[in-house]
DNA sequence: TGTTAGCACTCCCATATTTTGAGTGCTGAT
DNA sequence: ATCAGCACTCAAAATATGGGAGTGCTAACA
């Protein structure tokens, strides 16, 4: 497959933009006119034909204008879309709004989700931080009945995680207390990830044979089963006011997508490796069923580790030039906030 | 306004049933035929006319059949609908399914919500128990930094509630520890409600002037701010496959309803006073905006106090004969489960 | 060889027109 | 009270019709 020429690129870019703006198939004549191309409609048709052979465009029926394929959007987003500059969009008020919001972390994420949705006029989505990567501030063991111990972890971000642990052997309150102290002093400042991969091993040697050993084992088990990532979605009703979505197939795939939160979390996770905004267009989201929807997402960090993901879900025909910088900006905002709060 | 005659009742009942089944306005001729009424269509028209004057029926336009008004549905549900018998519907498998599910309470509620949605083919909804009414098993205070104490409450149902408390005055670990012990012994077995209304007052007298007094005050504050009721909703996409819902107004009001979880929780709360299944038809849900949606809900208990609410949301034209017993049955199921688990 | 005008053809779409069928409301007779 | 009969209504489906915006192709031109 041959490369795309300069002129073809330019045309493709304009076609995608035009289609994003109007939602109607783009035909040669009016398009040449509107965008003041200095070529005739006939030439435009030839270019369109070529772009179609290359897989970037298609038409709904013989005598209709062209619309972008998923591949076309992909090429547009990767190479052609010049995002608006943040400063042009004036997101200052977002920051102000945001800073006024409560310190409670869950509420913060909820308000971020709402904000993403209301600014983009699409659905906002936030995956809360993977606790593995947040630094532990304090850790505590509390006996709640003879066979159960409650493990409480307070993170630097102020989140409280608790996990019940079944404990078979008899462990006295004193042992719990001393283990708590040991854990707090040894774990403080490290992330759960560090603890699991590194610290626990060292401690096992250090305390082998002692009474506290028993506790260490179950604590490890408990740490491995921590899985407190939540997903927030807001603005579903925005989506329904979008004409593209009324097509039953599209709407169904959207709803199935957001209802299967577990699956959605996995999809979001794929962003975790990257530091920049990622777009998932149509079937790229989930090769099975998704039609007509796209996801724009990026990570936010705690410390210097990617901890969670936030973004926007909407129709494939969305204004990436605006959505991408919005997601980008919001990501940085959350990153900054979390680093200020977990200090 | 005069009373409804026997015959009118019978006709109304059949009309509502017919409309629930078909979704099409019920006209006199075909209706008389289908239901083998021994009257002529003309007479039927007269009856329909009367039912319309009474406010139970309406027509979409002059030459269309009749459809029930919200008042009509209300009358139907209150006086005319003979619910299916549980045994006819064979919900045994629900119980089996359910008993196989995990003991973790959140997961239990989630699976109940899913079950309600999949059996009714509508949206299932569960309001988790008001912690006020669940008995406290254990209570613990843990210092997490000089100005903050974490209050941990474990309920008999195994739910862990935690609440950060800002504490201004210097409180030593020892005082926290002894307060924890006092709280655990004094509170154990009582509900948070009991504690707030009764126990705390008595304790204040008992410990007035002591070091622990300081803690008691903040604990009271913390108890008052506990508000851990969650709402689970599942099966939203079921709703979209229902022809009644495609009307934009209906769909929007449905989505606005379920998106405003806080508001929805309040609506569900209204069921708390009653021990039987409640139906909210159309505007009864929320006198402002709701059109075409109904809520069928009932309470489940912990001990003998109504603790939470579960139910089904769907179009007003839903099959109450099936939905009502389903909700009823599920409520009992959850009640039984909770009493078995909190023993 | 790339560009373009011209032309035949296609097909959607909006609009109007007609037909059909299920319905109502009324009236006068039983 | 009940009901047959009839005129009337209206939505929805089926059927035209014209126009507009589009494509693809070809042949000529720079």
Of A140, A234, A256, the CB nearest to B142: A140
A104 pLDDT tier (thresholds 50, 70, 90):
confident
B30 touches strand C (CB under 7 A): yes
Across the interface, whether the CB atoms of B236 and A259 are under 8 A apart is answered yes
A167 pLDDT tier (thresholds 50, 70, 90):
confident
Amino acid B32: pLDDT: 92
The percent of residues in chain B predicted with pLDDT above 70, rounded, is 93
Q: Which among A314, A280, A341 has a CA at the least distance from the CA of A155?
A: A341
Query: B340 versus B29: which is more confidently predicted?
Result: B29
Of A150, A237, A251, the CB nearest to B154: A150
Is A60 near chain B, with CB under 8 Å?
no
Of A142, A234, A251, the CB nearest to B152: A142
A1 pLDDT tier (thresholds 50, 70, 90):
low
Let me know: does A171 contact A214? Beta carbons within 8 Å.
yes
| List of chain B residues whose C-beta atoms are within 8 Å of the C-beta of residue A140 | 142
Of B152, B160, B237, the CB nearest to A252: B237
Let me know: does B312 contact B123? Beta carbons within 8 Å.
yes
Amino acid A78: pLDDT: 94
pLDDT tens readout for residues B223-237: 888 877 889 999 988
Say if strands A123-127 and A231-234 run parallel, antiparallel, or are unpaired: antiparallel
pLDDT of A181 over the 60 cut: yes
- pTM for the model: 0.84
pLDDT of A96 over the 70 cut: no
Across the interface, whether the CB atoms of A164 and B145 are under 8 A apart is answered no
Amino acid A94: pLDDT: 64
Of B145, B237, B252, the CB nearest to A237: B252
Is B34 near chain A, with CB under 8 Å?
no
Of A207-216, B221-230, B246-255, B279-288, the poorest mean pLDDT is in A207-216
A321 pLDDT tier (thresholds 50, 70, 90):
very high
Q: Quick one: CATH architecture of A132-224? A: 2-Layer Sandwich (3.30)
| List of chain A residues whose C-beta atoms are within 8 Å of the C-beta of residue B160 | 150, 162, 164
Query: B145 versus B16: which is more confidently predicted?
Result: B16
pLDDT of B14 over the 60 cut: yes
Is A103 near chain B, with CB under 8 Å?
no
Amino acid B198: pLDDT: 87
Query: Can you tell me which residue has its alpha carbon closest to the C1' of nucleotide D22?
Result: A63
pLDDT of B94 over the 80 cut: no
**How far is the alpha carbon of B252 from chain A, nearest alpha carbon, in Å?**
7
Amino acid A91: pLDDT: 65
Of A318-322, B167-171, B335-339, the poorest mean pLDDT is in B167-171
CATH 3.30.450.40 in chain A, residue ranges: 88-130+229-341
**Å between CA of B214 and C1' of C3:** 89
Of A138, A152, A255, the CB nearest to B236: A255
The percent of residues in chain B predicted with pLDDT above 90, rounded, is 40
Is B188 near chain A, with CB under 8 Å?
no
pLDDT of B53 over the 60 cut: yes
The percent of residues in chain A predicted with pLDDT above 90, rounded, is 41
**DSSP element (H, E) containing A325:** helix A320-341
**How far is the alpha carbon of B255 from chain A, nearest alpha carbon, in Å?**
6
Across the interface, whether the CB atoms of B152 and A154 are under 8 A apart is answered no
| List of chain B residues whose C-beta atoms are within 8 Å of the C-beta of residue A158 | 164
User: Which positions on chain D have an atom < 7 Å from some protein CB?
Assistant: 2-5, 8-11, 20-26
Amino acid A289: pLDDT: 77
User: Largest Cα–Cα distance of chain A, in whole Å?
Assistant: 88
Across the interface, whether the CB atoms of A144 and B138 are under 8 A apart is answered yes
Sign of the CA dihedral running B187, B190, B192, B194? negative
- Count of pairs with CB atoms under 8 A, one residue in A, one in B: 56
| List of chain A residues whose C-beta atoms are within 8 Å of the C-beta of residue B145 | 137-138
Amino acid B103: pLDDT: 57
**Å between CA of A64 and C1' of C14:** 16
Amino acid B205: pLDDT: 83
Amino acid B85: pLDDT: 75
Give the Cα separation of A324 and A318 in Å (integer): 10
Give the Cα separation of A286 and A281 in Å (integer): 9
Amino acid B56: pLDDT: 94
pLDDT tens readout for residues A114-153: 999 999 999 999 999 988 888 888 888 888 777 788 888 8
Amino acid A97: pLDDT: 61
Q: Which CATH number fits the domain B88-130+229-341, given the four candidates 3.30.450.40, 3.40.47.10, 3.30.390.50, 3.40.50.980? A: 3.30.450.40
Is A233 near chain B, with CB under 8 Å?
no
Other C-beta atoms lying within 10 Å of the C-beta of residue B108? 20
CATH 3.30.390.60 in chain B, residue ranges: 132-224
**How far is the alpha carbon of A86 from chain B, nearest alpha carbon, in Å?**
30
CATH assignment, B6-80: 1.10.10.10
Say if strands B57-58 and A136-145 run parallel, antiparallel, or are unpaired: unpaired
The residue of B234, B255, B258 whose CB has the most chain A CBs within 10 angstroms, and thus the best one to mutate to test that interface, is B255
Nucleotide nearest to A48 (CA to C1'): D23
pLDDT of B262 over the 80 cut: yes
Residue A101 makes CB contacts below 8 A (sequence gap 6+) with A107, A108, A111
Strand order in the sheet with B293-302: B231-234, B123-127, B305-315, B293-302, B278-281
Q: What is the DSSP letter of B284?
A: G
| List of chain B residues whose C-beta atoms are within 8 Å of the C-beta of residue A240 | 251-252, 255
pLDDT of A70 over the 90 cut: yes
Query: Can you tell me which residue has its alpha carbon closest to the C1' of nucleotide C11?
Result: A63
Across the interface, whether the CB atoms of B240 and A255 are under 8 A apart is answered yes
**DSSP element (H, E) containing A182:** helix A173-187
Amino acid A185: pLDDT: 85
Query: B116 versus A88: which is more confidently predicted?
Result: B116
Is A150 near chain B, with CB under 8 Å?
yes
Amino acid B252: pLDDT: 82
- Mean pLDDT of the B277-306 span: 90
Amino acid B1: pLDDT: 62
**How far is the alpha carbon of A142 from chain B, nearest alpha carbon, in Å?**
8
Amino acid A251: pLDDT: 83
Amino acid A325: pLDDT: 93
pLDDT of A99 over the 70 cut: no
A201 pLDDT tier (thresholds 50, 70, 90):
confident
**How far is the alpha carbon of A266 from chain B, nearest alpha carbon, in Å?**
19
Of A142, A158, A251, the CB nearest to B140: A142
pLDDT tens readout for residues B229-261: 889 999 988 888 888 887 777 888 888 888 888
| List of chain B residues whose C-beta atoms are within 8 Å of the C-beta of residue A138 | 142, 144-145
Half-sphere exposure of A205 (CA within 13 A, CB side): 4
Of A41-45, A179-183, B214-218, B278-282, the poorest mean pLDDT is in B214-218
Give the Cα separation of B112 and B98 in Å (integer): 7
> Rounded mean pLDDT of chain A?
86
B62 touches strand C (CB under 7 A): yes
CATH 1.10.10.10 in chain A, residue ranges: 6-80
Is A189 near chain B, with CB under 8 Å?
no
Across the interface, whether the CB atoms of B162 and A152 are under 8 A apart is answered yes
Q: Which among B36, B39, B48, B65 has a CA at the least distance from the CA of B8?
A: B48
| List of chain B residues whose C-beta atoms are within 8 Å of the C-beta of residue A252 | 237, 240-241
Is B86 near chain A, with CB under 8 Å?
no
pLDDT of A68 over the 60 cut: yes
A305 pLDDT tier (thresholds 50, 70, 90):
confident
Per-residue tokens: A309: 């993901």
A88 pLDDT tier (thresholds 50, 70, 90):
low
The CA-to-CA distance between both ends of chain B, in Å, stands at: 53
How far is the CA of A7 from the CAs of A17, A43, B72, in angstroms? 15, 12, 66
Is A215 near chain B, with CB under 8 Å?
no
A12 pLDDT tier (thresholds 50, 70, 90):
very high
pLDDT of B304 over the 80 cut: yes
């Amino acid at each position: 497959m041959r490369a795309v020429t300069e002129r073809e690129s330019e045309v493709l870019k304009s076609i995608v933009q035009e289609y994003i703006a109007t939602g109607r198939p783009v035909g040669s004549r009016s398009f040449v006119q509107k965008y003041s191309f200095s070529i005739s409609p006939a030439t435009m048709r030839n270019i369109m034909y070529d772009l179609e052979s290359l897989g970037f465009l298609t038409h709904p029926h013989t005598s209709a204008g062209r619309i972008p394929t998923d591949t076309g959007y992909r090429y547009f987003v990767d190479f052609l879309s010049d995002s608006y500059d943040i400063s042009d969009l004036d997101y200052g008020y977002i920051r102000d709004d945001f800073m006024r919001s409560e310190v409670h972390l869950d509420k913060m994420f909820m308000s971020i989700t709402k904000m993403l949705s209301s600014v983009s006029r699409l659905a906002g989505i936030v995956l809360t931080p993977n606790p593995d990567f947040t630094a532990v501030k304090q850790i505590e063991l509390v006996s709640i009945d003879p066979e159960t111990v409650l493990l409480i972890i307070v993170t630097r971000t102020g989140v409280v995680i608790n996990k019940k642990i079944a404990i078979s052997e008899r462990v006295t309150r004193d042992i719990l207390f001393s283990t708590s102290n040991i854990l707090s002093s040894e774990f403080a400042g490290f992330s759960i990830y560090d603890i699991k991969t590194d610290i626990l091993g060292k401690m096992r040697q250090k305390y082998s044979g002692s009474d506290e050993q028993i506790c260490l084992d179950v604590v490890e088990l408990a740490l491995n089963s921590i899985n407190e990532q939540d997903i927030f979605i807001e603005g579903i009703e925005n989506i329904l006011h979008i004409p593209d979505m009324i097509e039953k197939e599209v709407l169904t795939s959207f709803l199935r997508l957001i209802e299967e939160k577990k699956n959605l979390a996995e999809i979001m996770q794929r962003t975790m490796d990257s530091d920049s905004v990622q777009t998932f267009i149509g079937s790229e989201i989930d090769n099975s069923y998704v039609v007509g929807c796209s996801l724009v997402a990026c990570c936010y960090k705690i410390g210097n580790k990617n901890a969670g993901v936030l973004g926007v879900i909407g129709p494939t025909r969305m204004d990436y030039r605006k959505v991408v910088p919005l997601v980008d900006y919001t990501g940085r905002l959350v990153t900054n906030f979390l680093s200020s709060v977990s200090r």
